[in-house]
Amino acid sequence: MTDAQNALGSTLRVWRDRLSPDEAGLPSGSGRRATGLRREELAALAGLSVDYVVRLEQGRARNPSEQVIASLARALHLDVAERDHLYRLAALLPPAPGRISSHLTPGVQRLITRLGDLPLAVFTADWTLVTWTPLWATLIGDPLEAPAAERNFVRATFLAPADRQWQVRSERGEDAVEAALVADLRAAQATYPDDPGLRRLITECRAASPRFAELWARGAVGTHDGDRKTIAHRVVGDLTLDCDVLTVAGTDLKVVVYTAAAHSPEADKLDFLRVTAIRAPAASPE
């Protein structure tokens, strides 16, 4: 099969070859012959099997899903124009304007790579978890062990059973965090009124959570910003950390990062968890 007949596969190979391991947050090593990513590295970054990546590149897998293409676009550090081109090569419509985006721009990808030693996660405008660092999974709990629906912070807060809620307490109290989260979601609704996923989330929470319905009825609009939070960890005990929420202009992605003051007991605990964390690239739920 020629490159013209297999435009999707040949483009994936070109983009895989141009992304260095360092840019992807992987160890480059001294014995590499290729400057770009290996197929198995791309597969790990995208949450796919190596066999499936091989079949995509060889043109034997013809109908990848939107989730697969979105995950490959993030793993390959594509910009928006390249992401949309990848969708079209897969005979899919690119994400429509006015919809909540889960795409990580190359700049955000580089930020995650540089801050990879911190407990950091990226959420969409409706608080759906997109990606996270190994230390985040070690500190908060591996998101892949939770049902996909509960990888949304709003659902996890208002709908998840108590034993599956995130073991994080705010200095401002649970009521304040819930109110801020709902106010933030209302702001997202104003920005993305036609997003079907956001509409479903709000409808589901209003119907299933009296507390969410009560807060929603207040009509407050705002943002869920930084805080001091205590994480109950089964190995090192409680850690009280600064939690900052950084918003990426133009995408409304939320970068949530936990930090501790230098030389504090919390910093020592984070150092211990950092050593024990699985050394893996930033994870994706897809």
Please write the tens of the pLDDT for every residue from 57-98: 999 988 899 989 999 999 999 999 999 999 999 999 998 888
pTM exceeds 0.75, yes or no? yes
What is the sign, positive or negative, of the torsion defined by CA atoms of 220, 252, 99, 124? negative
Mean pLDDT for 91-108 is: 88
What is the sign, positive or negative, of the torsion defined by CA atoms of 208, 211, 216, 222? negative
In angstroms, the CA 110 to CA 232 distance is 30
- Per-residue exposure over 221-240, b if at least 16 CB sit within 10 Å of its own CB, e if not: eeebeebebbbebeebeebe
Please write the tens of the pLDDT for every residue from 112-158: 888 888 999 999 999 999 989 889 999 988 888 877 878 899 999 99
In angstroms, the CA 125 to CA 254 distance is 7
The percentage of the chain sitting over the pLDDT mark of 90, rounded to a whole number, equals 55
Helical (H) or strand (E) element with 30 = none
212 with 158: CB under 8 angstroms? yes
Please state the separation of Cα 157 from the chain's center in Å.
Answer: 17
